[in-house]
């Protein structure tokens, strides 16, 4: 993976079509989220009409999600349905669409234990099953967002799509269940669904509970950075524009395919903190905490299949992506404070 000369950043000037005639209408669930909002902008820039769906769940503040959609909403080719996939009229939402990207989910490993698991089963498994039933009636190509969490603590690295799946958290279990549901519907009903296993996505608009947003916010404020574990755990960090590019390409992937989508160069939390210290120009006060339940020691994606079948590879380095996220965070601090 090479350092990108320039990093795709949120377009503040509005989204303009790159073709005179839209190639069709696509649906994005989870449109107001971190990855979903970037995906909407990319699809609009590619000339699509985009129907966004989001329930504005209380997982984090609505102000942030509204801000995520600011650029997409400048386009006349973007429409938003505020709807819950468990109760929405999915046939009406899919009417006239030529594809759907299903990113809506209850995220987060650490919050998936205990009584909140019922929310994960409802929003991840139940909503996905209901969408698959709608796709039976409205058969269009679909891309489903899965997670590296389906692997758990993999016995060998980098992991391939064919390696054993043994989630270490209830969240990972629900993502594996959605993959299995998709596989069943592909087999029995001939649906065209591709599943993508995202590996630790970062960049502008990253959720407030995710590590880089917490680390960078604390570093900018001169506050202690709390990490879970000893800092030697590694992750295959993947920049959001690379994830979006893979997601768009996957709409034309073969039915039933599953792809790892990872940055390709794992780094430890210790290395990340060194990059952050250099980026903010200050020493950091790190407070280690016990390892969190469900956190795995290492992740690393073998992305050979995505390269060979989708022509995709990650383009943005950890250092460049961290710089872009830091730049966004400086601008977004007033919004974050309000949220």
Instruction: Give the residue numbers annotated as catalytic, written as ranges.
Output: 171
Q: Check: CB of residue 322 under 8 Å from CB of residue 275.
A: yes
Secondary structure (3-state) at 45 = helix
The Cα 311–Cα 290 span in angstroms is: 40
In 3-state terms, what secondary structure has residue 114?
helix
Q: Is the dihedral of CA 311, 314, 316, 321 positive or negative?
A: positive
Residue 241 to residue 316: CA distance in whole angstroms: 8
- CA–CA gap between residue 317 and residue 7 (Å, rounded): 10
263 vs 253: CA distance, rounded Å = 20
φ and ψ of 138, to 5 deg: -130, 75
Rounded CA-CA distance 297/232 in Å is: 8
**Which residues 6+ apart lie within 8 Å of 118 measured at CB?**
none
Residues 197 and 238: beta-carbon distance below 8 Å: no
Question: How many of the other CB atoms lie within 10 Å of CB of 85?
Answer: 24
């Amino acid at each position: 993976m090479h350092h990108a000369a320039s990093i795709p950043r949120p377009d503040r000037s509005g989204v303009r079509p790159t073709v005179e005639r839209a190639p069709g209408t696509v649906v994005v669930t989870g449109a107001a989220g971190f990855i979903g909002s970037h995906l909407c902008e990319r699809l609009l820039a590619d000339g699509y009409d985009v129907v966004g769906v989001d329930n504005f769940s209380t997982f984090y503040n609505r102000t942030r999600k509204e801000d995520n959609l600011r650029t997409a909403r400048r386009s006349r080719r973007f429409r938003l349905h505020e709807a819950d996939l468990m109760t929405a009229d999915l046939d009406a939402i899919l009417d006239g669409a030529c594809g759907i990207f299903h990113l809506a989910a209850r995220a987060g490993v650490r919050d998936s234990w205990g009584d909140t698991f019922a929310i994960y089963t409802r929003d991840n498994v139940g909503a996905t099953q209901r969408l698959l039933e709608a796709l039976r009636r409205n058969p269009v190509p679909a891309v489903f967002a899965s997670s590296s969490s389906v692997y758990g603590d993999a016995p060998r690295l980098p992991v391939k799509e064919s390696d054993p799946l043994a989630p270490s958290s209830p969240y990972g279990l629900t993502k594996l269940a959605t993959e299995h549901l998709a596989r069943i519907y592909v087999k029995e009903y001939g649906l065209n669904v591709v599943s993508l296993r995202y590996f630790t996505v970062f960049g502008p608009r990253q959720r407030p509970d995710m590590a880089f947003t917490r680390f960078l916010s604390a570093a900018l404020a001169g506050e202690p950075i709390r990490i879970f574990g000893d800092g030697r755990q590694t992750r295959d960090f993947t920049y959001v524009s690379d994830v979006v590019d893979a997601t768009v390409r996957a709409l034309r992937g073969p039915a039933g395919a599953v792809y790892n989508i990872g940055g390709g160069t794992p780094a430890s939390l210790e290395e990340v903190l060194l990059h952050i210290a250099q980026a903010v120009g200050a020493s950091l006060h790190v407070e280690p905490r016990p390892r969190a339940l469900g956190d795995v020691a290492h992740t690393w994606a073998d992305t050979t299949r995505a390269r060979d079948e989708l022509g995709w590879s990650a383009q943005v380095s950890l250092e460049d992506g961290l710089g872009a996220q830091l730049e966004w965070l400086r601008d977004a601090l007033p919004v974050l404070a309000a949220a």
